[in-house]
Amino acid sequence: MFGVYVHVPFCAKRCDYCAFATWADRSHLIGQYLRAVATELQRAVDDGMPAATSVFFGGGTPSLAPPDELMAVLDAVPLAPGAEVTVECNPDTVTAELLATYVAHGVNRVSLGVQSMVPHVLAALGRTHDPANVERSVALVREAGLLTFNLDVIYGGAGETLADWEQTVTAVVALDPPHVSAYALTVEAGTPLAGDPGRHPDDDDQADKYERADELLTAAGLASYEISNWARPGHESRHNQLYWRQGDYRGFGCAAHSHRAGRRWWNVRTPERYVALVESGCSAEAGGETLDAATRRVEGLQLALRTREGIPAGALDTDGLDGLVVVEGDRLVLTRAGRLLANEISTRLA
Ligand SMILES: C[S@@+](CC[C@H](N)C(=O)[O-])C[C@H]1O[C@@H](n2cnc3c(N)ncnc32)[C@H](O)[C@@H]1O
Ligand code: SF4
């Protein structure tokens, strides 16, 4: 397996909880930026980069870019037969024409940033779409012939009650998605949310919401296969599974990370610096590190513990973990209660 990640660092508006490398005032750079990404990709291909089994356009908001310009980047990626190709989209940018262009170039999966299906929660999160936009986008995704797609939701926004969250998950389930990612809202350093403690989520409230989401999604036939991810059988994200299995991948664009056989490296953070480096024939790499074997092993176990595949049964001292882990054959897997304490349990692997 080999993955390609393409970072698209542009948004119409910055959500005040988001710490991703993205900018809301640089759309004039989109064309020049995507041409630089295609150049960086072509250099990697010339250096013998393998064919990709998965490609992920993430952001930022990739669907903000003119679709033919975004697809010129995809055209530069050598694809393995049956490769999974995903584009992250914001619901208010999705049109039939945009999706038709994606599909014509080989995109077979989209990930929609839904976040909530309750208007006052969307407003508190600073989102620019409404629930009707989400329903319209999902209908367009189906009409475009995309057989698989993901809906992202967030729990723990300011003013969100448990009933609001149940309404979101129920409305999401009613859209019959093959895949759902549900994330606990996290307070990221340096964001406006970080400076506003009155809006910080409560751990116990988020734990209740996690359990409720898992019940509702599981009952709807979406199985948990990683702490924050649920899918119908066969619709698991191969690109994410590659990350969780410590596979090799190349990231293109500013702030993109790459990994090969225990060496990790990353590109410069801003689109301006990225474009300037690539256009002058230089590498966009800003730094890197090589993991020693012990660190790599522990990281691998920590990632696997978060997944349905679990870890080898002997890799964890289970003393005092009753009800939190279960042994299935020669594997040890977290229970629902255990998934809520995954970080604490993970520290035992070090
Ligand atoms: C980088 S965003 C890209 C998707 C798209 N731009 C959007 O927001 O709809 C990917 C996902 O990260 C999640 N995310 C971003 N910031 C987060 C935070 N502080 N806590 C939890 N989830 C977050 C959101 O669910 C979002 O859909
Ligand atoms: S959450 Fe998505 S839309 Fe909002 S700023 Fe981050 S990347 Fe952009």
How close is the Cα of 61 to the center of ligand 2, in Å?
7
Q: What percent of the chain has pLDDT over 70?
A: 100
Select from 13, 64, 134, 152 the residue to mutate for testing ligand 1; criterion: most ligand atoms less than 8 Å from CB: 152
Protein residue whose Cα sits closest to atom 27 of ligand 1 = 113
* pLDDT for res 63: 97
* pLDDT for res 191: 94
Average pLDDT rounded to a whole number, residues 169-194: 97
Select from 11, 16, 20 the residue to mutate for testing ligand 1; criterion: most ligand atoms less than 8 Å from CB: 20
Given pLDDT bands bounded at 50, 70 and 90, which one contains residue 128? Answer: confident
CA-to-CA separations, 274 to 205, 253, 288, 290, in angstroms, rounded: 41, 7, 16, 23
How close is the Cα of 113 to the center of ligand 1, in Å?
7
Protein residue whose Cα sits closest to atom 2 of ligand 2 = 60
How close is the Cα of 8 to the center of ligand 1, in Å?
14
Given pLDDT bands bounded at 50, 70 and 90, which one contains residue 72? Answer: very high
| Whether the CB of 18 sits within 6 Å of ligand 2 | yes
| Whether the CB of 22 sits within 6 Å of ligand 2 | yes
Protein residue whose Cα sits closest to atom 23 of ligand 1 = 185
Ligand nearest to the CA of 137: 1
| Chain segment 156-178, per-residue pLDDT in tens | 999 999 999 999 999 999 999 99
* pLDDT for res 343: 95
Name the pairing type of β-strands 2-8 and 248-252. Answer: parallel
* pLDDT for res 267: 98
| Whether the CB of 59 sits within 6 Å of ligand 2 | yes
Average pLDDT rounded to a whole number, residues 278-297: 97
Ligand nearest to the CA of 111: 1
| Whether the CB of 11 sits within 6 Å of ligand 2 | yes
Ligand nearest to the CA of 89: 1
| Chain segment 218-272, per-residue pLDDT in tens | 999 999 999 999 999 999 999 999 999 999 999 999 999 999 999 999 999 999 9
Residues 316/325, Cβ–Cβ less than 8 Å:
yes
| Whether the CB of 37 sits within 6 Å of ligand 1 | no
How close is the Cα of 316 to the center of ligand 1, in Å?
32
How close is the Cα of 15 to the center of ligand 2, in Å?
5
* pLDDT for res 350: 75
How close is the Cα of 18 to the center of ligand 1, in Å?
7
> CB-side exposure of 323: number of CA atoms within 13 Å?
3
> For the chain, what is the mean pLDDT?
97
Q: Cα–Cα distance between 138 and 140 in angstroms, integer?
A: 5
Q: Is 167 left (phi over 0), alpha (psi -120 to 50) or beta?
A: alpha
CA-to-CA separations, 162 to 29, 49, 114, 125, 298, in angstroms, rounded: 41, 47, 18, 16, 36
Return the ligand 2 atom nearest residue 18 CA. 6
| Chain segment 73-109, per-residue pLDDT in tens | 999 999 999 999 999 999 999 999 999 999 999 999 9
How close is the Cα of 314 to the center of ligand 2, in Å?
40
Residues pairing with 184 in the sheet:
155
| Whether the CB of 152 sits within 6 Å of ligand 1 | yes
* pLDDT for res 164: 98
Report the Cα 91 to chain-centroid distance in Å. Answer: 16
Which amino acid would we find at residue 270? T
* pLDDT for res 292: 96
Ligand nearest to the CA of 88: 1
Average pLDDT rounded to a whole number, residues 309-321: 95
Average pLDDT rounded to a whole number, residues 290-294: 96
